[in-house]
Amino acid sequence: MIQLFQVVKTFGPNVVLNNIDVKISKGELVFVTGPSGAGKTTLLRLIFGAERPCAGHILINAINLNRISRSKLALLRRKIGFVFQDFKLLPHKTVFENVAIALEVTGLRPRLVRKKTHQTLRLVGLAPKEKAYPPSLSGGEQQRVAIARAIVKDPLILLADEPTGNLDPDLTQDIMVLFRNIHQRGATVVIATHSRQLIAGIECRTIVLNQGNIFEDMG
């Protein structure tokens, strides 16, 4: 489902990923961890097609991202949910609109968009805030809007970048339950985090990045 072959990513002299080979099968739940600057966000962005590798190639559902057209990439992304580390919410749209947008672009009927958006906002505990604008929300609330936007379309692949960094332990547990439910429905879930608390107690594959390499791949 997600395959990286000999992927190199550099920014100027900075070699962030150095000949990385990774295979993540359909339906896996995987953590990507490693110190700040290790390349976790870069790895997720490469998988999302938001960055291009300097060498090597990436296949998503057997589609080579090096060769894909912009329009095909847009179609592929409809199946991928991305929780951005910096949220990327639209400040002039309400919480409801920020989440609904992810469904509107798929062409779903407005009635279903409304129903699914309400459902998802309830799941992340944000129903009371649906008319609020992102700048008026706390960090944890903004993070949950970003999570709702990523999961509302029932993605086949969920890429979550430090998704619980701004949440308290109780909310972190709730969000992990949500991610596990999505995983149990058959989605492939990749979670980047440096939180040991998040990984502790969950038996699953963990890819550890360090200095451009995969330091460890276990589970």
Ligand X SMILES: Nc1ncnc2c1ncn2[C@@H]1O[C@H](COP(=O)(O)OP(=O)(O)OP(=O)(O)O)[C@@H](O)[C@H]1O
Taking CB under 6 A as the rule, does residue 14 contact ligand X? yes
Token pair in block for residue 35:
């110190």
Choice between 40 and 153, CB closer to ligand X: 40
Minimum distance from CB of 96 to Mg ion (Å)? 28
- Interface with ligand X, residue 53, by CB under 6 A: no
Lateral strand order in the sheet of 29-33: 80-83, 157-161, 188-192, 29-33, 205-210, 213-218
Q: Please check whether residue 158 is in contact with residue 129, taking contact to mean a CB–CB distance below 8 angstroms.
A: no
Contact flag: residue 143 with ligand X (CB under 6 A): no
Residue 150 CA to residue 144 CA, distance in Å, equals 10
Diameter over CA atoms, the chain? 51
Q: Rule CB under 6 A: say whether 23 interacts with ligand X.
A: no
Min CB(182)–ligand X separation in Å: 22
Note whether 193 binds Mg ion by CB under 5 A. no
Q: From CA 137, how far away is CA 186, in angstroms rounded?
A: 32
Q: State the binding string over 76-95 for ligand X (x if CB under 6 A, else -).
A: ---------x----------
Residue 212 contacts ligand X per CB under 6 A? no
Identify which of residues 43 and 121 has a Cβ nearer to ligand X in the complex.
Answer: 43
Residue 16 binds what, of Mg ion, ligand X, none (CB under 5 to 8 Å, by partner type)? ligand X
Give every CB contact of residue 34 below 8 A, 6+ residues apart in sequence: 40, 194, 208, 209, 210, 215
Q: Is 41 a residue that touches Mg ion (CB under 5 A)?
A: yes
- Binding window for ligand X (CB under 6 A); candidates: 21-29, 38-46, 56-64, 176-184: 38-46
* Touching Mg ion, residues 78-97 (CB under 5 A): 85
Q: At what angle do helices 110-123 and 139-151 cross, to 10 degrees?
A: 130
Task: Work out whether 8 is an interface residue with ligand X (CB under 6 A).
Answer: no
Here the tokens at position 45 are 């962005």
Report the distance separating Cα 3 and Cα 59, nearest Å: 5
- Per-residue binding string, Mg ion, 21-40, x by CB under 5 A, is -------------------x
Cα gap 64→95, rounded to integer Å: 34
Residues that bind ligand X (CB under 6 A): 11, 14, 16, 34, 36-42, 85, 194
